[in-house]
Amino acid sequence: MHTRSIVTSTTVLLLLLAWGCDSSDDRLGFEPAEQPAAFGAGDASPDADPDADASWGTKYCPTSACAFGYTTCASSRFLCDTNLLTDANNCGACGHACPKTTDEYSFACIGGECVMKCPEDPARLDCDGIVDNGCETWPTTNEHCGACNVTCDVSTDPTHACTNTTINYAVVIQCGCPNGLLFCNGYCVDPNADDHCGGCAVTCDPNGGPQPNPPKAHYGCVGQQCGKLKCETLYLDCDGNQANGCEVHGISDENCGACGIACGDGTHCIVNTDGFPQCMCEAGTSLCVTATDGHGLTQGYCADFGSDDRNCGGCGVECFHGAPIGLPLPGGLEACVHGSCELRCVEGNADCNDSPTDGCETNTFSDPRNCGGCGIQCDLAAGQACAGGHCMLAPCKTDEETAR
């Protein structure tokens, strides 16, 4: 008979909360096994029998029983290696697989139930609650504007229709246009734009001013009125002198995007990937150029070559997530560490054989020889199960129970 272990209540509290299902059960909702006695019950005086539960707490022994939510399925490699609460291939019961992911919807196992998730880009909605037809609704209709059953009343005001507008790279879906924008033929436009000046399709004449155009300037829309001088793209009027027009290039180290915005030491004015001038790059990062126009105008981004997975050790050097050079990486991915791509294991997996060619080959959530980490062994002779990275314990059987 294997030696009993005595574990204090503090040590096993978390395991007790999780323990309570037998490894033979392959479904949720079964009747749990008898729970341990409450801590602190009975006589706890120094003279009490050391073997008595009341004095020393409940005794715990290795068990093959699974923690709640875990079980052993026909396809299992180890005892208790299937989590019925989260495993999409065994959701709520062994062999009960959630539907496969498509472009229109995906499923996840949450709490032992297959839950459908709709895509966010482009956004779709499930408004009828029918799983069979997936995410059937676009969120840009007057009946479902931005969310299910949000209706836009266009019976008296057509401009109150559902609109889809991008503001500062964020998509805004609502009935009517956001404040400051003009509804034109189903779209929201800037009423200060030269082609919608104060009204839909009101176009300004760029040469329609009272005087000839100053250098790098044209007549356009300002304050929803045409005939106002405006600088051409990338140029600025920093001295206020109309005669010399827009005399400053807006992508310079002295005036980066606006007058007087000077770049600090070691940085230069570059057009970022969003199309805006920005002083780049800060200490510890390097510039990666994506385009040049032949006139000194550069577009690019800054990267930390020491930790950037997409620019590891240099611009564009990616650490492939999944299968670099055709080699499988089960349970892991590559990450940039000090400028080189190295194997990193996801939670519940480990590289116990120190071989990157087979990735993170060990399941530390269920392998009793590596339970919670490489080399951490459960009681193999007693058939102790590993569930969730913990060697399972249960209240020891009494001599009377053992003799039955």
> Residue 290 pLDDT more than 60?
yes
What integer pLDDT is reported at residue 402 of this predicted model? 56
Instruction: Give me the amino acid identity at 136.
Output: E
In terms of pLDDT, which residue wins out, 21 or 78? Answer: 78
- Peptide linkage before 139 cis (omega within 30 of 0): no
The whole-angstrom separation of Cα 359 and Cα 122 is 34
Q: Is there a domain that residue 165 lies in?
A: no
Can you tell me the mean pLDDT for 316-329?
Answer: 59
Q: Is there a domain that residue 145 lies in?
A: no
Residues 74 and 11 in one domain: yes
What integer pLDDT is reported at residue 50 of this predicted model? 40
Beta-carbon contacts of 17 under 8 Å, excluding residues fewer than 6 positions away, are: none
Can you tell me the mean pLDDT for 3-13?
Answer: 32
400 pLDDT band, cuts 50/70/90, is low
Residue whose C-alpha is closest to residue 161's, from 331, 288, 80, 150: 150
10 pLDDT band, cuts 50/70/90, is very low
Residues 2 and 66 in one domain: yes
> Residue 116 pLDDT more than 60?
yes
Can you tell me the mean pLDDT for 283-288?
Answer: 92
Question: Quick one: CA torsion of 163, 164, 170, 175, rounded to 10 degrees?
Answer: 20
Beta-carbon contacts of 399 under 8 Å, excluding residues fewer than 6 positions away, are: none
Residues 350 and 392 in one domain: no
> Residue 24 pLDDT more than 50?
no
What integer pLDDT is reported at residue 399 of this predicted model? 65
Can you tell me the mean pLDDT for 313-335?
Answer: 67
Q: How many helices (H) and strands (E) does the chain have?
A: 3, 27
Can you tell me the mean pLDDT for 251-270?
Answer: 92
Can you tell me the mean pLDDT for 263-274?
Answer: 89
Residues 32 and 73 in one domain: yes
Average pLDDT of the chain? 82
Query: Which residues share a beta bridge with 188?
Result: 183
Can you tell me the mean pLDDT for 235-259?
Answer: 93
Q: Is there a domain that residue 202 lies in?
A: no
Residues 28 and 64 in one domain: yes
Q: Is there a domain that residue 162 lies in?
A: no
Structurally, how many domains does the chain consist of? Answer: 2
359 pLDDT band, cuts 50/70/90, is confident
**pLDDT over 90, % of the chain:** 59
139 pLDDT band, cuts 50/70/90, is very high
> Residue 4 pLDDT more than 70?
no
Instruction: Give me the amino acid identity at 43.
Output: D
The whole-angstrom separation of Cα 346 and Cα 354 is 15
Beta-carbon contacts of 78 under 8 Å, excluding residues fewer than 6 positions away, are: 72, 363, 366, 367, 368, 385, 386
Q: Is there a domain that residue 172 lies in?
A: no
295 pLDDT band, cuts 50/70/90, is low
Between 220-234, 352-366, 373-387, the lowest mean confidence (pLDDT) is in 352-366
> Residue 17 pLDDT more than 50?
no
Range of the domain at 14: 1-81+385-397
Q: Is there a domain that residue 70 lies in?
A: yes
Query: Which residues share a beta bridge with 299?
Result: 271, 291
The per-residue pLDDT for range 36-93, each reduced to its tens digit, is 332 223 333 333 344 444 445 788 999 999 989 999 999 999 999 999 999 999 999 9
Residues 344 and 392 in one domain: no
Listed as own residue / partner, the contacts of 213-218 with beta carbons closer than 8 Å and 24 or more positions apart are 213/245, 214/242, 214/243, 214/244, 214/245, 214/246, 215/244, 215/245, 215/246, 215/247, 216/245, 216/246, 216/247, 217/245, 217/246
Distance (Å) of CA 239 to CA 85, 146, 216, 236, 279: 67, 46, 14, 9, 22
Q: Is there a domain that residue 8 lies in?
A: yes
Can you tell me the mean pLDDT for 112-127?
Answer: 91
The per-residue pLDDT for range 156-197, each reduced to its tens digit, is 899 999 999 998 888 999 999 999 999 999 999 999 999 999
Q: Is there a domain that residue 309 lies in?
A: yes
Tokens of 72: 């052993």
How many CB atoms lie under 10 A from the CB of residue 168? 6
Residue whose C-alpha is closest to residue 231's, from 204, 210, 255, 213: 213
